[in-house]
Amino acid sequence: MRPPHDLPEPPHQVSFRFGDEEIEAWEGETVATALLASGVMITGVRAMSGRSRGPYCLIGVCHECLVEIDGLANQRACITTVRQNMKVCRQTRLRPLTGEDETREQ
């Protein structure tokens, strides 16, 4: 039996940018859970209808949580682990599926 002082270290806190907001998260947490815990429910807008969308399945299936992360479009927030100082943005328009986005503003 392990003694009580041999418990695992608690996770460290990290922070990342979501638009203009600074979001605090736990190391190992996903972007989607960090955003939801911070009260952010809307991660983007549907390109065709213009309706809001946000994390739904949280297992990488529905693609409702697509965001831009460090300039890369079409990233699923629910399966992406937070990193210190990463930059996350709402995805508000249709993006190519190639990963690189030639239309990205500089």
Of positions 45, 58, 72, 89, contacts ligand FES by CB under 6 A:
58
In the numeric block, which tokens belong to residue 49? 């209808």
Of positions 17, 33, 45, 60, contacts ligand FES by CB under 6 A:
60
Residue 80's nearest CA partner among 91, 90, 68, 92 is: 68
Q: Is residue 78 a contact residue for ligand FES (CB under 6 A)? A: yes
| Minimum distance, C-beta of residue 103 to ligand FES, in the bound complex (Å) | 23
Compute the distance between CA of residue 67 and CA of residue 52 in angstroms, rounded to an integer.
12
Q: Which residue is nearest to ligand FES (CB)?
A: 78
Compute the distance between CA of residue 17 and CA of residue 105 in angstroms, rounded to an integer.
18
Instruction: Tell me how many residues contact ligand FES (CB under 6 A).
Output: 13
Which residues does residue 76 pair with via DSSP β-bridges, in sequence order? 66
CB 54 within 8 A of CB 41: yes
| Minimum distance, C-beta of residue 72 to ligand FES, in the bound complex (Å) | 15
Q: Which residues are near ligand FES by CB under 6 A?
A: 32, 55-58, 60-65, 76, 78
